[in-house]
Amino acid sequence: MPYTAPTDEHLHLLRSVLDFDRVSSTEKFADAGDDMVAAILSEAAKLAQDVLAPLQRPGDLEPAHLENGVVRTAPGYAAGYKAIAEGGWVGAAAGPEHGGMGLPLTITTLVGEMMSSACLSLSLNPLMTQGQIEAIEAHGSDDIKALYLPKLISGEWSGTMNLTEPQAGSDVGALRSKAVDNGDGTYAISGQKIFISWGDHDFGGNVCHLVLARLPDGVPGTKGISLFIVPKFIPDAEGNLGDPNSLRVVSLEHKLGLHGSPTAIMEFDGATGWMVGPPNGGMAAMFTMMNNARLGVGTQGLGVAEAAYQKALEFALDRKQGKTPVDGGTGTIADHADVRRMLLTMKAQVAVARAIIMDTAISTDLANATGDASFKTRAALLTPIAKAFGTDTGSDVADLGIQVHGGMGFIEETGATQYARDVRVTRIYEGTNGIQAMDLVGRKLMDGGAAAFALIDEIDATAKNAPALKAAADTLRETTTTLLAADMNARFAGATNYLRAFAITLGGHYLTRGATDANRIALNAFYTAHFLPQVAALCVSATAGDALLYALDTDALAG
């Protein structure tokens, strides 16, 4: 289905809203000047539009399947992956010393958005590999780096992340997978993992699994977990593939969406693995993957939202029904007030989600380039907001897209439903959005709210001539103070609404800064009238405490 990469919006954000020059002026990212960034985004747009977008529908209709122990991927996926790898996109953010481009996370995130818009199922494959590259760069031994990084960065090999087990779910510390020292620098890894995105494929090369497991003397909980790299084929020192390892795909999950992406149940039966990082340091190493993966998942939600909006807009500008209510209109349903309301709501949410995600990426780049702890703290605060609001936006916009289509939206052939089905899981994996919200009001407020108040101060500076934004910022500040005085379960009760209030307020900040022409001024006015008033109500709920949640006991819930 047609997709047009919104590179003009990307460049507007970088130049006029978020001051990307701060990143390109650092020594680390000095090559990422305006011309180079525009050229990179242009090339990524061609890949997304011309190569990946045509694979979106076939992957849904002819999904990946398991055939005699081999995962067979959807038609065209192998060629699409080859184009991604040969373009250097898998290792775009990786260090040049092992063949990567060394691009800022900001730019690779925009590339990720385009790829997610075009074909989310296939784009999940390089995203997993990119997370593995980052973990090995940060925690791998020199030997592991030398062997694995060039292959992963080139896309010749791919990577996965194996955390979840049937009995553990989000409680990673309850895992049962075990690792036994073989006495030769390797470990025997045994256990079962579920929900493994791209656990296998037929693209060739090796599939390298990062697996969390417990040593025999590992203490209970997360502190006793170690991380291991366990390849599908055991390579020699030069990276040539040897014997198959003792692991297999037990089955592929039957899912609501993302049919083109094989989600595997993996079985490890004494498989040979190598430790990544120190003993019992697995969670620290895995969080290296997970933090940026959370930003990546928020970007997936954004990508699907952009694509769903484009499809809904295309339909609305073509569909004629009823008398147009405005003079000089299009003569289509886009003239009708409620349809126009939905389209503007979609457009505004996409713009805000993109700005939050890009602000998070820029803060991360500045932290990496300068070593300034304040940027690291800022990125950490924004990450749960970016993940949760980005994926909520994906689901909200995809759902509105169906509504814009009317009855045709409920028909599979239209293609609108696929966006809603594909994006729904993004609100769940890499930490559910409820977990993101609890992280925001819990761990991220452990500094006494200093990081949150600093961000609210930035919003205040933008709101000097924007009374509605100023009111929202004041309410958010008061709510943050109230939550800091509450016990943790009361915070958790209001966490989701607090996160959304924070995101909406940030949205007013970005749209006000970016209102540089008539259309953007009009969009900001719509957002000010229809979104910013929600902050007050959300904050009332966020500070209501937890007592009302338990007023009905479990028997009454069933009654």
Per DSSP, the residues of 115-150 read HHHHHHHHHHHHHHHHHHHHHHHHH--HHHHHHHHH
Q: Are residues 209 and 269 in the same domain?
A: yes
pLDDT, tens digit (0-9, with 9 covering 90-100), for 37-59: 999 999 999 999 999 999 999 99
The tens digit of pLDDT for each residue in 85-131 reads 999 999 999 999 999 999 999 999 999 999 999 999 999 999 999 99
- Whether residues 251 and 220 share a domain: the answer is yes
Q: Domain containing 99: what range?
A: 7-154
Residue 336, domain member (yes or no): no
Would residue 105 count as lying in a domain?
A: yes
SS3 label, residue 196: strand
- In angstroms, the CA 182 to CA 171 distance is 28
Asked if 68 and 202 sit in the same domain, the reply is no
Name the pLDDT band for 273 (thresholds 50, 70, 90): very high
Contact (CB, 8 A) for 476 and 482: no
Is residue 296, in this structure, part of any structural domain at all?
no
Which CATH number do you get for residue 113?
A: 1.10.540.10
Under DSSP, is residue 192 helix (H, G, I), strand (E, B) or coil? strand
CATH of the domain at 187: 2.40.110.20
Give the pairing of strands 225-231 and 263-276: antiparallel
Q: Exactly one of 137, 165, 306, 430 is catalytic; name it.
A: 430
Contact predicate 277/213, CB 8 Å: no
Per the structure, the count of domains in the chain is 3
Assess if residue 334 is contained within a domain.
Answer: no
Q: Give the DSSP H/E element, type plus range, for residue 507.
A: helix 488-513
430 is catalytic: yes
Residue 34 to residue 308: CA distance in whole angstroms: 29
How far is Cα 240 from Cα 210, in angstroms, rounded to an integer? 19
Question: pTM, whole model, 2 decimals?
Answer: 0.96
One domain for residues 225 and 96? no
Integer Cα distance of 18 and 25 in angstroms: 14
Q: Within this chain, do residues 257 and 233 fall inside the same structural domain, yes or no? A: yes
Q: For 217-233, what is each residue's pLDDT tens digit?
A: 988 888 889 999 999 99
Any idea which of 130-144, 178-192, 321-335, 354-368 has the lowest mean pLDDT? Answer: 321-335
pLDDT range class, residue 1, cuts 50, 70, 90: low
Q: Could you tell me the two tokens for 154?
A: 């080139």
